[in-house]
Amino acid sequence: MSENTDNNILEEVTSGEYKFGFFTDIETDLAPRGLTEDTIRFISAKKEEPEWMLEFRLKAFRHWLTLKVPEWAHLHYPEIDYQDIHYYAAPKKRPQLNSLDEVDPELLDTFKRLGISLDEQKRLSNVAVDAVIDSVSVKTTFQSTLAKKGIIFCSFSDAVKNHPELVKKYMGTVVPYTDNYYAALNSAVFSDGSFCYIPKGVRSPLELSTYFRINAANTGQFERTLIVAEEGGYVSYLEGCTAPQRDENQLHAAIVEIIAMDDAEVKYSTVQNWYPGDKEGKGGVYNFVTKRGLCKGQRSKISWTQVETGSAITWKYPSCVLLGDHAIGEFYSVAVTNHFQQADTGTKMIHIGKNTRSTIISKGISAGKSNNSYRGLVKIMPGATNSRNFSQCDSLLLGSRCGAHTFPFIDTRNHSSIVEHEATTSKISEDQLFYCNQRGIDTEKAIGLIVNGYAKEVLNKLPMEFAVEAQKLLAITLEGSVG
Amino acid sequence: MLLNIKDLTVAINGKEIIKGLNLQVNKGEVHAIMGPNGSGKSTLAAAITGRDGYEVTKGEIWYKGQNIVGLEADERANMGIFLSFQYPVEIPGVSMTNFMRTALNAQREYRGQPNIPAGEFLKLMEEKKKMVDIHAKLTKRSVNEGFSGGEKKKNEIFQMALLEPTLAILDETDSGLDIDALRTVAKGVNELRSSENGFVVITHYQRLLEYIVPDYVHVLSDGKIVKSGTKNLALDLEEKGYEWLKEEAAV
């Protein structure tokens, strides 16, 4: 009916609570607050790193000192005091990787409450998990199963120790520390993350996943993930994240690098559910992430799927550099913002090789007083003849106090390529809600249904096990947004 | 008595549209409501189904022995009130199957029943699809998306068949239908008629009533029922239009 009725319904429904806001009291090993070369030496020493890694960190740190915080995004937040953050926090009891019995029961319980069982017997049988809490990886499951195929799946720290040649060869080749402010920061202080290597001709029999949890207070999380798929390799990878409910903001600045050789394929899916802050906009995670994939080989393919429901601030542009001829890049995104959340997210598709193709499907959903922006770049280089891009950016508004923005950039430098861009903006109408109500479906369920329908194209790209979770998450995020 | 509307006044944004309306529907009866544009027919449907923005300023709506004024729309639906929409809305990305299963389960939950097993639900859908002669693929498509006018109306009747309401309100179900679709829709309705449910059929034209034969016909004018009669009243209206009633009412 009237605008007012619309808004009232939307408000009632999208003021739900964050369900992963609990804090686990684990004994934590903490670096002192602040960031100096000493902090970096402290982290490196804690992780018993080789000299070359420390050098990499220090170079990145010195570069970071010369950089300014980027201000081009459509985001507003108070200046971050980088000297007021702990850059390293680790559960004190370092568990043995081979035995679950030796993992701190508090930790096991934490992951259980998050719906992640680290017990291989009880785990979904086709998913291997690397669980990262604060700055360290606590457990990686199914390592031996994967090792039989020659697949390496371990924490980044273990990779530095056990596979230094691979880490040296690939780290920083897709996202150099000079890339941007947050990438430089991460390169200086990154703590842990996952490493995955798929040898030539191997298809990973399991979905690989990393589960990130920020637990300690006033800590930043800076993880780093590196995935390399050799010729003909295939892996589907999933990342999930949550954090306790806190009044102060927490910083998260990650790097993900993917490299795909000839005929290799990597699917990277994210369900991002960092604490978004409360209804008044207090607290929440600042999420500044650099994710980039390099389609190095011919006919290689990298596909990003993201469901972004959490964080107070999201600054994230998972991108593909399509270097090899006939390479394919894909970006499928659902970003939901509610209350006072702000998201500036999208992708970059850089076409360098001939006959390269890219697809971008972005679905933004804004509720409450939130702001949701799509920002994308499609760049087709002179040598990328006969390349194609298709982009579709849709925005859905719930209520009339939220914002949706689209900033698409297209830069085409040859005449044989085709770039298509479509964009729509729509609102959940009172007509749709009443139609559902009249069939007996209450307003909250109706919004879940409509939003999931709107996002279906993207949700369908998620691995089966996670699609269901993601659907529920969308509905929960919007609880209380409709009024 | 299934439905008993007493001295009902309904306003939209403070403007009175229904002005003291009375209507009684017993189980097993079909009531047709006719009237010129703007007489308040669709407003009446919205008020009975509990749509937001339609404010009952006076009077009562008794349904199954309970005054339902003030109840939420979804609760009324779950109590067995169904509205076949004049303009069914599209819900992109939500398949008919998913939509109907959600609706049916909401109803079952309200009645304290467990969710319907998937196999049973699919069987039920197949059965009802045949009843209204809708294309097998229709239920795989998104709710009303890309449906023709006829398909949308058939789809409303299909939903009605699945939900088996006690009180069904058909709001101009005949508008925009060709004669074949009209017959199919009417056939569906007639199959659903029973001694346990009642229908309120809102229409402009007598044509629909040749296929769905009403027990009573009421004429709505300026927010009130100005004349009631049997199906013959519809024929009179077809012949003479609504003007004579206004004149009669004025006398």
Answer whether B45 touches A (CB < 8 Å): no
A88, A455, A138: which is closest to A308 by C-alpha? A455
CA B131/CA A208 separation, integer angstroms: 48
Interface test with B, best of A434, A459, A471 (most B CBs within 10 A): A434
Name every chain A residue with its beta carbon within 8 A of the beta carbon of B92: 453-454
A283, A251, A310: which is closest to A87 by C-alpha? A251
Average pLDDT over residues A410-425: 94
Q: Mark yes or no for CB contact A438/B91 under 8 Å.
A: no
Q: Mark yes or no for CB contact A438/B49 under 8 Å.
A: yes
Q: Which helix (H) or strand (E) holds A245?
A: none
B52 pLDDT above the threshold of 70: yes
pLDDT tens digit string along A177-207?
999 999 999 999 998 888 999 999 999 988 8
Class of residue B137 by CB neighbours under 10 A (exposed 0-12, middle 13-18, buried 19+): exposed
Average pLDDT over residues B53-73: 96
Answer whether B145 touches A (CB < 8 Å): no
DSSP secondary structure string for all residues of A348-368: EEEE-STT-EEEEEEEEEE-T
| Of the partner residues A437, A445, A457, the one whose CB lies closest to the CB of residue B73 | A437
Name the residue of chain B whose CA is nearest to A453's CA.
Answer: B93
Query: How close does chain A come to B89, measured CA to CA in Å?
Result: 6
| Of the partner residues B12, B52, B93, the one whose CB lies closest to the CB of residue A430 | B52
Q: Mark yes or no for CB contact A2/B89 under 8 Å.
A: no
**Beta-carbon contacts of residue B146 (< 8 Å; ≥ 6 apart):** none
| Of the partner residues B73, B98, B142, the one whose CB lies closest to the CB of residue A438 | B73
Q: Mark yes or no for CB contact B94/A430 under 8 Å.
A: no
pLDDT tens digit string along A134-182?
656 656 677 788 889 999 999 899 999 999 999 999 999 999 999 999 9
Name the residue of chain A whose CA is nearest to B102's CA.
Answer: A441
Beta bridge partners of A208: A128, A237
Question: How far, in Å, are A203, B25, B198 from residue B215 at the CA level?
Answer: 69, 10, 11
Q: What is the model's pLDDT at position A5?
A: 45
Q: Mark yes or no for CB contact A2/B99 under 8 Å.
A: no
Q: Which is higher by pLDDT, A128 or B167?
A: B167
Interface test with B, best of A9, A436, A445 (most B CBs within 10 A): A436
Q: Mark yes or no for CB contact A453/B91 under 8 Å.
A: yes
Answer whether B73 touches A (CB < 8 Å): yes
Q: What is the model's pLDDT at position A97?
A: 45
A300 pLDDT above the threshold of 50: yes
What residue spans define the domains of chain B? 3-250
| Of the partner residues A5, A443, A449, the one whose CB lies closest to the CB of residue B53 | A5
- Residue ranges of alpha helices (H) inside B30-148 are 41-49, 73-78, 96-110, 118-131
Answer whether B103 touches A (CB < 8 Å): yes
Q: Mark yes or no for CB contact B92/A454 under 8 Å.
A: yes
Q: Mark yes or no for CB contact A440/B54 under 8 Å.
A: no
Name every chain A residue with its beta carbon within 8 A of the beta carbon of B163: 439-440
pLDDT tens digit string along B22-41?
999 999 999 999 998 889 99
Considering all CA atoms of chain B, what is the largest pairwise distance in Å, rounded to the nearest integer?
A: 62
Interface test with A, best of B10, B42, B94, B159 (most A CBs within 10 A): B94
Q: Which residues constitute the domain of residue A413?
A: 3-480
Highest mean pLDDT among A72-76, A177-181, B182-186: A177-181
DSSP secondary structure string for all residues of B93-125: EEEHHHHHHHHHHHHHHHTTPPPPPHHHHHHHH
How remote is the C-alpha of A18 from its chain's centroid?
18
B222, B209, B135: which is closest to B172 by C-alpha? B209
Name the residue of chain A whose CA is nearest to B98's CA.
Answer: A449
CATH architecture of the domain B3-250 equals 3-Layer(aba) Sandwich (3.40)
Answer whether B116 touches A (CB < 8 Å): no
Q: Mark yes or no for CB contact A456/B93 under 8 Å.
A: yes
Q: Mark yes or no for CB contact B72/A439 under 8 Å.
A: no
Q: Which is higher by pLDDT, A294 or A445?
A: A294
Name the residue of chain B whose CA is nearest to A429's CA.
Answer: B89
Q: What is the model's pLDDT at position B78?
A: 97
Name the residue of chain A whose CA is nearest to B45's CA.
Answer: A438
- The count of structural domains within chain A is 1
Asked whether the beta carbons of A183 and A222 are under 8 A apart, the reply is no
Q: Which helix (H) or strand (E) holds A195?
A: strand A194-198
pLDDT tens digit string along A127-138?
566 776 665 665
Average pLDDT over residues B161-166: 96
A87 pLDDT above the threshold of 80: yes
Taking each helix axis as running N to C, give the angle between helix A443-454 and helix A430-438, from 0 to 180 degrees, rounded to the nearest 10.
Answer: 120
pLDDT tens digit string along B73-128?
999 999 999 999 999 999 999 999 999 999 999 999 999 999 999 899 999 999 99
pLDDT-derived band at A330 (thresholds 50, 70, 90) equals: very high
Q: Mark yes or no for CB contact A434/B52 under 8 Å.
A: yes
Average pLDDT over residues B10-23: 96
A101 pLDDT above the threshold of 70: no
Answer whether B147 touches A (CB < 8 Å): no
Name the residue of chain B whose CA is nearest to A396's CA.
Answer: B92
A480 pLDDT above the threshold of 70: no
Q: What is the model's pLDDT at position A18?
A: 64
B212, B243, B229, B183: which is closest to B35 by C-alpha? B243
pLDDT-derived band at B250 (thresholds 50, 70, 90) equals: low
**Beta-carbon contacts of residue B103 (< 8 Å; ≥ 6 apart):** A436, A439, A440, A441, B159, B162, B163
B97-128: b or e for each residue (b if 16 or more CB lie within 10 Å)? bbbbbbbbbbbeebeeeeebeeeebeebbeeb
Interface test with A, best of B82, B102, B167 (most A CBs within 10 A): B102
Q: Mark yes or no for CB contact A440/B106 under 8 Å.
A: yes
Q: Mark yes or no for CB contact A439/B49 under 8 Å.
A: no
A150, A129, A148: which is closest to A140 by C-alpha? A129
Name the residue of chain A whose CA is nearest to B109's CA.
Answer: A440
CA A346/CA A363 separation, integer angstroms: 10
Share of chain A above pLDDT 70, in %: 81
Name the residue of chain B whose CA is nearest to A8's CA.
Answer: B52
Q: What is the model's pLDDT at position A12?
A: 46
| Of the partner residues B54, B100, B106, the one whose CB lies closest to the CB of residue A445 | B106
Q: Which is higher by pLDDT, A294 or A22?
A: A294
Name every chain A residue with its beta carbon within 8 A of the beta carbon of B142: 453
A9 pLDDT above the threshold of 60: no
A368, A329, A356, A325: which is closest to A482 by C-alpha? A368
Class of residue B180 by CB neighbours under 10 A (exposed 0-12, middle 13-18, buried 19+): exposed
Q: What is the model's pLDDT at position A262?
A: 98
Tokens of A85: 């953050």
Q: Mark yes or no for CB contact A5/B52 under 8 Å.
A: yes
CA A133/CA A110 separation, integer angstroms: 10
The per-residue pLDDT of chain A, averaged, comes to 84
CA B235/CA B208 separation, integer angstroms: 12
Taking CB atoms and an 8 Å cut-off, how many pairs form between chains A and B? 87
| Of the partner residues A435, A440, A445, the one whose CB lies closest to the CB of residue B110 | A440
Answer whether B108 touches A (CB < 8 Å): no
Query: How close does chain A come to B92, measured CA to CA in Å?
Result: 6
Q: Tell me the ipTM for this assembly.
A: 0.96
Query: How close does chain A come to B78, measured CA to CA in Å?
Result: 5
Beta bridge partners of A322: A295, A351
Name the residue of chain B whose CA is nearest to A455's CA.
Answer: B93
pLDDT-derived band at A229 (thresholds 50, 70, 90) equals: very high
